[in-house]
Chains A and B, each alone.
Chain A
């Protein structure tokens, strides 16, 4: 087990190295000059050239890569061209909103989707099952921003229950924190509820056809016990896999929701960095996302051991 963890952790090094080289090269190949953006609209070509020199962008590519690699090996992701702040500090500032949004979204998705999926599997072919599958198609099909605007219109503007936008950090109190996070999380959870409910239904349905379920029922166990302790427990591996992938996707991909609700998270940071060609920030954020993917996948793999005793590493 420990060997497996060590092996997996070691394997992250080449993954991160490949990501680093690819991101560095792709950024330099795409059009756009950070110096021209920083200088502003009325800047002269000389001023732009001056800024390029200050940023070291006039150096040959291998030199630029060497400098960045040297910094990275010391745990320094560099300084944002745009904000003049260390990239690690920027990521730190934006991590809390994104993690909070991702966590609440996943909690809502699990609390709603798993029971719905179990019930749909239990009542396979019935009206509830068909309704859930209908919702599932809807959840996949409707873009997040449409759900977001609709919820804002109804819940915030018409009913006045939640604010239209904004984020309050946990330091401002748990109440305001939750008050600002509920609507964006519901918005974002729609697609994950659809996905998770479908996977749960399919997994539980498969488990319900197994011999041990028939045995459990023959023993006289209650239907709820059969569903939760036997069917759901045995269907957990694919469900946890989807949850794990969901967490990783949420941390890196909540751009639209963060824009609609003005949440200053990692998604917005990434978009801003790309639009302003803030190379150190883009490189830092993408490396961070890669690390998150690797770690989350590792945790998901480890959770299999707990969920299914037959799995051994």
Chain B
């Protein structure tokens, strides 16, 4: 009787709530993520740091996105046309795009955002050399007029990695590009809760209720950015790998962005945890300093390339067979430009051949200073392997240990080795950042004026890159990418060392999680 009466009361209460539109109480869902690093800089245009890029994806939207097959897809743009002479691009924004302060996104916001991005990003800068003018042609439209046709307009606007052309309100985008923005308002799927941001502790994002996702299936950084959780918290304090794994196993966090290789096998055995590998991953490389002996000599670089078989590097550094694969391309294998043209010097190299090449090079015994980062477990073994192979070849090697930040500072120095300079360092790039001849920073060859460290100089390589930029036919672009790569191997700009995927781990209860390998994004997730 009592049970019946209680049920009747509950039913009446439910009917009352329904009649008057009172929403049923619902527990707030919070997704707790352990990012791969600390978030410090909140301006993803000012810095190329990946954490700032990922923060950008939370709160900003992009004109175009890149899907998981590395194809450019419209995102904020609803439709666009290209003139017959391929010099005028007219874009119209989708309906209903709003910034977090409620203001509509306009063509003027887009133009100001692109202008600032073009002053910071390498690919954006390359695009701006082709741009005659950018203008708003209506409240929701804008036009880009080029001086001559360029084959990478949409690729640049939809580039998935740093610096991503995020769209900001005009007043924010007008910030001096050499200074950081101080207002963090975007039109993306999440709103940044500035008051709850504690550097080194946590960053909090809440769902933007007025965000209008696209209808297409989410894929990479493109498609519908649906938000099914109320809040996302980035745990910035949890940086010890063992503690991260413990916290995930205990259900205190939902996702770990970077699973260290040494914990991979342990986590695979945990039935409550799902390990995810992205379709595309990262590429290892060792970079020569072309300004100083012995790597100012192309024949020495060729000899080193011949000795740098990828397998030993991958085996020593990653160790887990599921997670690495040799790749003969300087671009990303499995993508349209991931060709092997001209890579034979390395892919078919051998120690005997390397020793012969070194003998012919006139190498005078100058020691090679390799900078080895001791605090970055994802790349710390590469210099050891490089040193061993070079010693085996007959070179003198000075392997200098330092923390990554010292390495980052030192590699910017053009000074000779005896004045604090260097000869070689090894690093890893996410695939989108090396995906084509324009954004692959290691392929710049303007000598000391080259933006990225190592400073190779080769006019022919620069000509080929410029031809790639101008080419609009996709088949010819693929062929040109092959030509660029062939020349880069001849010049010996750097040594690609194969690809790997950095696994991510999450609780099995998490559904819809996108692990494209392009960037870490947190839409479409159900908890």
A interface residues, Cβ below 8 angstroms from B: 31-33, 36-48, 50-51, 54, 80, 82-85, 90, 93-94, 149, 152-153, 156-157, 160, 163-167, 259-264, 268-269, 272, 275-277
Interface CB pairs A-B, < 8 A, 17: A32-B409, A36-B408, A36-B412, A37-B408, A40-B50, A41-B427, A42-B122, A54-B179, A149-B242, A156-B246, A157-B249, A165-B238, A165-B243, A165-B247, A166-B238, A166-B252, A167-B237
Q: Is B405 an interface residue (CB 8 A)?
A: yes
Residues of B within 8 A of A50 (CB): 178
A302 to B238 Cα, complex, angstroms: 40
Q: How far is the CB of B440 from chain A (nearest CB, A)?
A: 10
Report whether B40 and A82 are in contact in the complex, using a CB–CB cutoff of 8 Å: yes
Q: Is B41 an interface residue (CB 8 A)?
A: yes
Q: Which of B236, B238, B441, B452 has the most CB of A within 10 A?
A: B238
Q: Which of B122, B249, B250 has the most CB of A within 10 A?
A: B250
- Main SS class of interface, B: loop
A14 to B509 Cα, complex, angstroms: 59
Select one of B162, B199, B410, B414 contacting A42, CB under 8 A: B162
Select one of B52, B246, B403, B414 contacting A157, CB under 8 A: B246
Which 3 residue pairs of A and B lie closest in terms of their CB atoms, listed nearest first? A44-B451, A40-B48, A33-B409
Report whether A90 and B199 are in contact in the complex, using a CB–CB cutoff of 8 Å: yes
Q: How far is the CB of B231 from chain A (nearest CB, A)?
A: 15
Residues of B within 8 A of A83 (CB): 40, 199-200
Q: Is B49 an interface residue (CB 8 A)?
A: yes
Contacting A at CB under 8 A, from B44-60, are: 47-50, 52
Report whether B237 and A31 are in contact in the complex, using a CB–CB cutoff of 8 Å: no
Report whether A47 and B120 are in contact in the complex, using a CB–CB cutoff of 8 Å: yes
**Minimal Cβ-Cβ distance residue in B for A160:** B250
Contacting A at CB under 8 A, from B376-408, are: 402-403, 405-406, 408
Select one of A38, A163, A164, A277 contacting B41, CB under 8 A: A38
Do A164 and B247 form a contact, CB below 8 Å, given A39-B47, A41-B48?
Answer: yes
A41 to B433 Cα, complex, angstroms: 11
Residues of B within 8 A of A167 (CB): 237
Report whether B48 and A269 are in contact in the complex, using a CB–CB cutoff of 8 Å: no
Q: How far is the CB of B366 from chain A (nearest CB, A)?
A: 22
Q: Is B201 an interface residue (CB 8 A)?
A: yes
Residues of B within 8 A of A82 (CB): 40-41, 199
Name 4 extra pairs, CB < 8 A, besides A38-B41, A164-B250, A263-B237: A40-B52, A43-B47, A260-B242, A264-B237
Select one of A47, A262, A272 contacting B240, CB under 8 A: A262
Q: How far is the CB of A177 from chain B (nearest CB, A)?
A: 15
Report whether B38 and A272 are in contact in the complex, using a CB–CB cutoff of 8 Å: yes
Select one of B48, B120, B252, B451 contacting A165, CB under 8 A: B252
Q: How far is the CB of B251 from chain A (nearest CB, A)?
A: 9
Do A275 and B246 form a contact, CB below 8 Å, given A40-B52, A85-B199, A90-B199?
Answer: no
Q: How far is the CB of A50 from chain B (nearest CB, A)?
A: 5
Q: Is B198 an interface residue (CB 8 A)?
A: yes
Report whether A42 and B452 are in contact in the complex, using a CB–CB cutoff of 8 Å: yes
Q: How far is the CB of B123 from chain A (nearest CB, A)?
A: 10
Select one of A32, A51, A259 contacting B239, CB under 8 A: A259
Select one of A40, A80, A152, A163 contacting B49, CB under 8 A: A40
Report whether A165 and B200 are in contact in the complex, using a CB–CB cutoff of 8 Å: no
Do A275 and B403 form a contact, CB below 8 Å, given A39-B47, A40-B47, A164-B247?
Answer: yes
A149 to B247 Cα, complex, angstroms: 12
> Chain B, interface size: which category?
35 or more
A163 to B252 Cα, complex, angstroms: 8
Report whether A152 and B246 are in contact in the complex, using a CB–CB cutoff of 8 Å: yes
Select one of A33, A85, A93, A163 contacting B250, CB under 8 A: A163
Residues of B within 8 A of A260 (CB): 240, 242-243
**Minimal Cβ-Cβ distance residue in A for B414:** A45
Q: How far is the CB of A172 from chain B (nearest CB, A)?
A: 13
Report whether B38 and A32 are in contact in the complex, using a CB–CB cutoff of 8 Å: no
Report whether A262 and B41 are in contact in the complex, using a CB–CB cutoff of 8 Å: no
Residues of B within 8 A of A160 (CB): 250
Report whether B47 and A164 are in contact in the complex, using a CB–CB cutoff of 8 Å: no
A-B pair count, CB < 8 Å, reads 135
Residues of B within 8 A of A153 (CB): 246
A171 to B237 Cα, complex, angstroms: 19
Report whether A262 and B243 are in contact in the complex, using a CB–CB cutoff of 8 Å: yes
Q: Is B235 an interface residue (CB 8 A)?
A: yes
Report whether A32 and B405 are in contact in the complex, using a CB–CB cutoff of 8 Å: yes
Q: Is B212 an interface residue (CB 8 A)?
A: no
Do A41 and B49 form a contact, CB below 8 Å, given A93-B201, A264-B237, A275-B403?
Answer: yes
A149 to B244 Cα, complex, angstroms: 12
Q: How far is the CB of B243 from chain A (nearest CB, A)?
A: 5
Report whether B38 and A54 are in contact in the complex, using a CB–CB cutoff of 8 Å: no
Q: Is B288 an interface residue (CB 8 A)?
A: no
Q: Which of B409, B427, B453 has the most CB of A within 10 A?
A: B409
Report whether A31 and B162 are in contact in the complex, using a CB–CB cutoff of 8 Å: no
Report whether A276 and B405 are in contact in the complex, using a CB–CB cutoff of 8 Å: yes
A85 to B214 Cα, complex, angstroms: 37
- Chain B, 34-76, contact with A by CB distance < 8 Å: what is the 0/1 string? 0000101100000111101000000000000000000000000
Report whether A45 and B453 are in contact in the complex, using a CB–CB cutoff of 8 Å: yes
Residues of A within 8 A of B340 (CB): none
Residues of A within 8 A of B278 (CB): none
Q: How far is the CB of B401 from chain A (nearest CB, A)?
A: 12
Report whether A42 and B441 are in contact in the complex, using a CB–CB cutoff of 8 Å: yes
A39 to B235 Cα, complex, angstroms: 23
Residues of A within 8 A of B409 (CB): 31-33, 36-37, 277
Residues of A within 8 A of B50 (CB): 40-41
Report whether A268 and B237 are in contact in the complex, using a CB–CB cutoff of 8 Å: yes
A308 to B501 Cα, complex, angstroms: 66
Q: How far is the CB of B248 from chain A (nearest CB, A)?
A: 9
Q: Is B180 an interface residue (CB 8 A)?
A: yes
Q: Which of A36, A42, A259 has the most CB of B within 10 A?
A: A42
A83 to B236 Cα, complex, angstroms: 13
Do A46 and B408 form a contact, CB below 8 Å, given A260-B240, A272-B38?
Answer: no
Report whether A264 and B243 are in contact in the complex, using a CB–CB cutoff of 8 Å: no
Select one of B179, B198, B252 contacting A93, CB under 8 A: B198
- Chain B, 141-176, contact with A by CB distance < 8 Å: what is the 0/1 string? 000000000000000000000100000000000000
Residues of B within 8 A of A269 (CB): 200
A149 to B47 Cα, complex, angstroms: 36
A165 to B200 Cα, complex, angstroms: 15
**Minimal Cβ-Cβ distance residue in B for A82:** B40
Report whether A276 and B247 are in contact in the complex, using a CB–CB cutoff of 8 Å: no
A156 to B252 Cα, complex, angstroms: 11
Residues of A within 8 A of B237 (CB): 165-167, 262-264, 268
**Minimal Cβ-Cβ distance residue in B for A259:** B240
A79 to B200 Cα, complex, angstroms: 16
